[in-house]
Amino acid sequence: MYIDLLIVYNFMAESVKKPKNSSAGKPKFSFVSALTELLQGMPDRSRDILEARFGIISGEVKTLEEIGRSYHITRERVRQVVGHGLRVIRQKKEHPLFEEAKELIESTLRENDGILEAETLKKKLTDGDDREAGALLAFLECLPSVRHEKENKNRKRAYVLSDFSFENWEAIHENAKTVLGKAGKVLEWEEFLKHLKKEHPDITVENLRRFLQVSAEVLENVFGQWGLSHWSDIRPRGTREKARLVLKTVGKPLHFREIARLIDEYHLHRTGRKTHPQTVHNELIKDSSFVLVGRGIYALSEWGYRKGTVKDVVTDILKKAGKPMTKEAILSEVLKVREVKRSTISINLNLFFERAGKNLYTVK
């Protein structure tokens, strides 16, 4: 009886020390809830228009034209109503919820050196929730401490703290383009970083990554390699460029079905589209930069592979040697450039080539 009571006492004590959901910590801040609270007191129609403009209710942002049609007003009138709603929010800047939203946004930017690509900021603060993202955008419109930078030829759309200077960003960005331009090829991060640190020895690795993630000209591909945005190894456009990038990254010949699978696995295709293996085969078979080295297996010609049958390959090997070669030597050379069975090579030797002594072969 005493032991049973002791067990119950200990259980209750643990429950007091560790209240339910204590491990969850402070609830995640909701931009939607905060905005809804700050809009209290606005006329229903004005509030509805503002919420529609930022997608607060459905998660779908409505255009000025769409809202105007719904309420039978002009797009300019919609703009005015939205502008008035944002002024209402700004006037409540001392409200605890406004201050919490402001601090959360500013601290996130400070932790990322004062600059974040717009989509990255949205993901960090809203976890992909469209309604939360819309409410976040409304708050961003109301903060004088945060500046919206539109997309241009150098940068993606971004948000920065109002005192952020692009002078240092531009210096790093130009140096990154110079490094890649001199290399003339994609670079792994470590090699890329080594060159960048020569010009910017005091900057941190994290700082470099954050700055470059805003660039529209210096990009990282799905394999973690860095290059210029117009390079096919960074932004492959057609099936052939995508297949070439897959083969270069894997570094060995692959069957066209495997190439198609990897194109999809690495999301090199358009969203929602599936790569058809036969399309890959049809595209590669007619491109001289790819070589069919086995049944459905492709390699890159830049690796030293050449088009032709096994007979053609053996002939080329013997002509380059300029003398008879042993069967094993021929097998070894052929297997460097063809994914075929040893027996297939032996059959070709016996059918199309002349013996020049014991275990030696030459061109007829």
CATH code for the domain in which residue 349 is found: 1.10.10
> Is 13 a member of any domain?
no
**Cβ contact 37:96 at 8 Å:** no
**Cβ contact 298:288 at 8 Å:** no
> Is 261 a member of any domain?
yes
Pairwise CA distance, residues 66 & 68, whole Å: 5
Instruction: Give the count of domains, the chain.
Output: 4
Per-residue pLDDT, 338: 82
> Is 272 a member of any domain?
yes
Last residue of one domain, picked from the residues 228, 256, 281: 228
Per-residue pLDDT, 26: 54
Per-residue pLDDT, 1: 43
> Is 295 a member of any domain?
yes
| Predicted TM-score (pTM) of this structure | 0.71
Radius of gyration of the chain (CA): 32
> Is 11 a member of any domain?
no
> Is 127 a member of any domain?
yes
Per-residue pLDDT, 271: 66
**Residues 66 and 97 occupy one common structural domain:** yes
**Residues 151 and 176 occupy one common structural domain:** no
**Residues 93 and 36 occupy one common structural domain:** yes
**Residues 178 and 262 occupy one common structural domain:** no
**Residues 36 and 135 occupy one common structural domain:** yes
**Residues 142 and 172 occupy one common structural domain:** no
Cα–Cα nearest to 351, from 336, 361, 341, 337: 361
Last residue of one domain, picked from the residues 228, 249, 280: 228
DSSP state of 301: G
Which stretches of the chain are DSSP H helices?
Answer: 2-17, 31-38, 44-54, 64-71, 75-91, 96-111, 118-126, 130-142, 166-183, 189-199, 205-212, 239-250, 256-265, 277-285, 310-321, 327-337, 342-352
DSSP state of 268: -
Per-residue pLDDT, 359: 86
CATH code for the domain in which residue 285 is found: 1.10.10.10
**Residues 157 and 48 occupy one common structural domain:** yes
Q: What are phi and psi of 254, to 5 degrees?
A: -140, 150
**Residues 315 and 339 occupy one common structural domain:** yes
Pairwise CA distance, residues 246 & 248, whole Å: 6
pLDDT values of the chain reduced to their tens digit, one per residue, 364 residues = 444 444 443 444 444 444 443 334 456 899 999 999 999 989 999 999 999 999 998 888 899 999 999 999 999 999 999 999 999 999 999 999 999 999 999 999 999 999 999 999 999 999 889 999 999 999 999 999 999 999 999 999 999 999 998 998 999 999 999 999 999 999 999 999 999 988 888 888 888 888 899 999 999 999 999 999 999 999 999 999 999 999 999 999 999 999 999 999 998 976 668 999 999 999 999 999 999 988 899 999 999 887 788 888 899 889 989 999 999 999 998 888 888 889 888 888 888 899 988 889 999 8
> Is 233 a member of any domain?
no
**Residues 200 and 319 occupy one common structural domain:** no
Residue 16: C-alpha distances to residues 4, 6, 21 (Å): 19, 15, 12
**Residues 51 and 134 occupy one common structural domain:** yes
**Residues 129 and 214 occupy one common structural domain:** no
Pairwise CA distance, residues 173 & 217, whole Å: 9
**Residues 140 and 64 occupy one common structural domain:** yes
How does pLDDT run across 26-78, given as a tens digit for each residue?
568 999 999 999 999 899 999 999 999 999 988 888 999 999 999 999 999 99
In what side-by-side order are the strands of the sheet with 158-161? 115-117, 158-161, 146-149
In this structure, the number of other CB atoms found within 10 A of the CB of residue 346 comes to 13
Pairwise CA distance, residues 290 & 298, whole Å: 6
- Structural domain for 248, as ranges: 239-303
Terminal alpha carbon distance of the chain: 102
> Is 291 a member of any domain?
yes
